[in-house]
Amino acid sequence: MFRRIGSGVVRHPVWTIVAWLIAAVAIVATAPSLPSNSDESSFLPKSYESIKAADLQTKAFPSAFTPSAIALYQRSDGGKLTAADQKDVARITTELGKKHIDQVQKVVPGQPSKDGRYTMTLVQMDSKNAGQPAQADAAKVLRDDVKQLAQGTDLDVKLGGSAAQALDQQDSSKRGEALIGIGTFLIILVTLLIIFRAPILAVLPLVLIGVVASIANGLIAYATKLFGLQANSSVSSILIVVLFGVGTDYFLFLMFRYRERLRAGDEPKQAMINAVARVGEAIASAAGAVIIAFLALVLSTLGFLKQMGPALAISVTVTLIAGLTLIPAVVSLIGPKVFWPSKSWQQEPQNARFAALGRGVQRRPALTAALSGLVLVALSLGTLGYKATFDLASGSMPKTKESMVVQDEMQKAYSAGAAAPTDVYLSSTDGKPLDKSVFPAYAEKLGAVDGVASARMSQVNPGGTTADFTVTLKYEASTEKAIDAVGRVRDVAHASAPDGTKALVGGMSSIYKDINTAVNHDYRTVFPVAALLIMLILGLLLRSVVAPWYLIASVGLGFGATLGATVWIFQDAQGHPGLMFMLPVIMYLFVVAIGTDYNILMIARLREEAREGRDPREAASMALRHAGPTVAAAGFILAATFATMMLAGNALLTEMGFAVSFGIAVAAFVMAMFFTPSLTALIGHAAWWPGHADRTQETPGGHASDTSGPVSGTGDEDSVTHDPASRRA
């Protein structure tokens, strides 16, 4: 099949390129805009208590005041607010209300702080559009207007709250995307120049992947709209890295094999056909593992991850198709001039360093496996200290953003939980009005819960069937202490509900509590499903029952080492309260899927060497010598491109960038280079049981048949051609 694909695109390169350009123009021109949502509650299913509470609040208290934006005032000199300052605040509040800003429903004065240095204006927006771009636009207008109204006074005013956070997150995301894009571009350009010493080859993948990116983003927007998926601005930054990082990997695999075929004496167009035939199934198998791992996110209960899975799978699928069609078509048109002005592609390098590493694995496979395994296990110990944080908004932007400054100042000036109080809704189960005489005792029990600063009955709906108890926690809503406290509030609220009533606990801490539950569910579901499907691919690919087990175990160790190192760096060294809650899921999928890619490439080359009659140890040595440069180059580029996410300047992408780049480096330079080949050498022929994929098969005429199988072409950079004639397709 892959030979037919290669033959088709090489014989009709112009039509192939035109087809891609038409598809790009059509999809980009007609694709809907990709929506963005920063409202964490929209990521949860309706079955969770916090969402049920929010629905009840909408029905029972449709006009209830829930601030979406908070203007926080203090004197410019930091002193206590004077009577004149209070009059200025009242005037600003009144004039803001008269402006009738889009999305704004109410503007009311807030409570001053106990120390008299702060006061607030509270702004309510349309709850139906919570987290949507329209409210971020409203926050921008509010921020400009409130600062303009405060001019000429002694007041310093800042705008915070969820709408302001959405605005700041949006701005931060645009800046982060720009930095990530520039960093990714430069890393790929410089690295390819060093590898090939050919400017055309360095620029070509960037141009081609740019076309692929436009098509992938359009298809993702279509899928998001068609299936009603949730989107988040951070997905765009991840897509940039996935498209350019993975796309460059596939470009490298193809070009290394193309160069090898040219060195073997193939005519240029035939060399590309043979390269696609040899490396096509290797790329397809590696991409298949990544796509399946990403699609496993569909099983997640969180809307954010449900959207991310298909989005990343679409990106890799389009990149795979481009790697097998667009790239071969363009390179076949250019021919060997693609390597200009370098002449080094015509000679076979000796790979002395990788040959030395291979000899080391051959002589001491047990020691190599033990040492590399110990490194992974030692790093994995850091996972014991893992903690999660759940505030996606603040994690997606720097702490210097205005809304984050407001959040920090409010925690100091008011109770830490005042900015996002917890609501307990007590409802009648039989439709009769509630007995109001029980309210004081119920509020007292809620107020006595460990971690609660205060609790009071705030309102009753017109029918008297639902009462709202406002519970203020001692901790900021997204902290682990607040989430534990809201769990205790739930227990007391449910247990103490009078006969004939039912209690539901809502608010941000309750939402974070449910997100924590959902993520734990995903750990138990997504992880094993992804691992099982990847093992199935490996089993079919290698025709072995044994090899998939230790291959998936090795990438599992790589995941543990990556998470452990991330915990030590960010929690222990930098003092972060925890890692972003979705990080382990994303890390698992990237490290396991892409780690499997490099293992596939290495073990496929090892099998190829074994089929030439080498014993398991010598085959491992030769595999490392020949495939090592490819894995090293691809691993370096992919790890470096993911590391550019650390330029975004926010906790989520910084943690994600470090974790994934570290995990890929571990997968390429520890697992694929040492752990996997040394284990395979130790296990020997049994690694391929019940098949005989490593044995040379004889044809009836007595000649060795080409049994290279699905992944004989590994895209190795500098494979030594032992018998050029026998290797020609």
Q: Tell me the sheet residues that pair with 75.
A: 155
Q: Tell me the sheet residues that pair with 123.
A: 69, 107
Q: Determine the straight-line distance between the first and last CA of the chain, rounded to whole angstroms.
A: 13
Where is 6: in which H helix or E strand? Answer: helix 2-11
* DSSP structure string for 612-658: TT--HHHHHHHHHHHHHHHHHHHHHHHHHHHHGGGGG-SHHHHHHHH
**What is the pLDDT at residue 383?**
92
**What is the pLDDT at residue 437?**
92
Residues of the chain with pLDDT under 50: 698-729
Q: What is the pTM of this model?
A: 0.76
**What is the pLDDT at residue 154?**
92
Give the separation between CA 675 and CA 368, rounded to whole angstroms: 7
Q: What are phi and psi of 397, to 5 degrees?
A: -155, 160
**What is the pLDDT at residue 485?**
94
Region of residue 265 (left: phi > 0; alpha: psi -120 to 50; beta: else): left
Q: Which two tokens mark 355?
A: 């040959």
Where is 463: in which H helix or E strand? Answer: none
Where is 580: in which H helix or E strand? Answer: strand 579-580
Q: Which two tokens mark 421?
A: 């109080």
**What is the pLDDT at residue 214?**
87
pLDDT tens digit sequence for 355-404: 888 888 889 999 999 999 999 999 999 999 998 887 666 666 777 888 88
Give the separation between CA 316 and CA 298, rounded to whole angstroms: 16
pLDDT tens digit sequence for 80-115: 999 999 999 999 999 998 988 888 888 999 888 888
List the Cα angle 369/374/377 in 5-degree steps. 125
Q: What are phi and psi of 712, to 5 degrees?
A: -65, -30
Range 149-187 burial, b when 16+ CB lie within 10 A, else e: bbeebebebbbbbbbbbbbbbbebbeebbebbbebbbeb
Give the separation between CA 580 and CA 655, rounded to whole angstroms: 8
- Taking alpha carbons only, the member of 176, 164, 301, 290 closest to residue 233 is 176
Q: Which two tokens mark 280?
A: 């096509």
Where is 419: in which H helix or E strand? Answer: none
Strand duo 501-506 + 155-160: pairing: unpaired
Residue 349: how many other CB atoms lie within 10 Å: 11
Where is 73: in which H helix or E strand? Answer: strand 67-75
Strand duo 452-460 + 579-580: pairing: unpaired
Q: What is the DSSP letter of 385?
A: G
Task: Give 292's contacts (C-beta < 8 A, 6+ positions apart).
Answer: 530, 533, 534, 537, 593
* DSSP structure string for 13-65: HHHHHHHHHHHHHHHHHHPPP------GGGGS-TTSHHHHHHHHHHHH-TT--
Residue 84: how many other CB atoms lie within 10 Å: 11
Where is 518: in which H helix or E strand? Answer: helix 508-542
Give the separation between CA 659 and CA 613, rounded to whole angstroms: 40
Q: Which amino acid is at 263?
A: R
- Residue 266 to residues 263, 343, 487, 592, 611, Cα–Cα distance (Å): 7, 17, 69, 36, 23
Q: What is the DSSP letter of 571?
A: I
**What is the pLDDT at residue 726?**
36
Strand duo 67-75 + 119-125: pairing: antiparallel
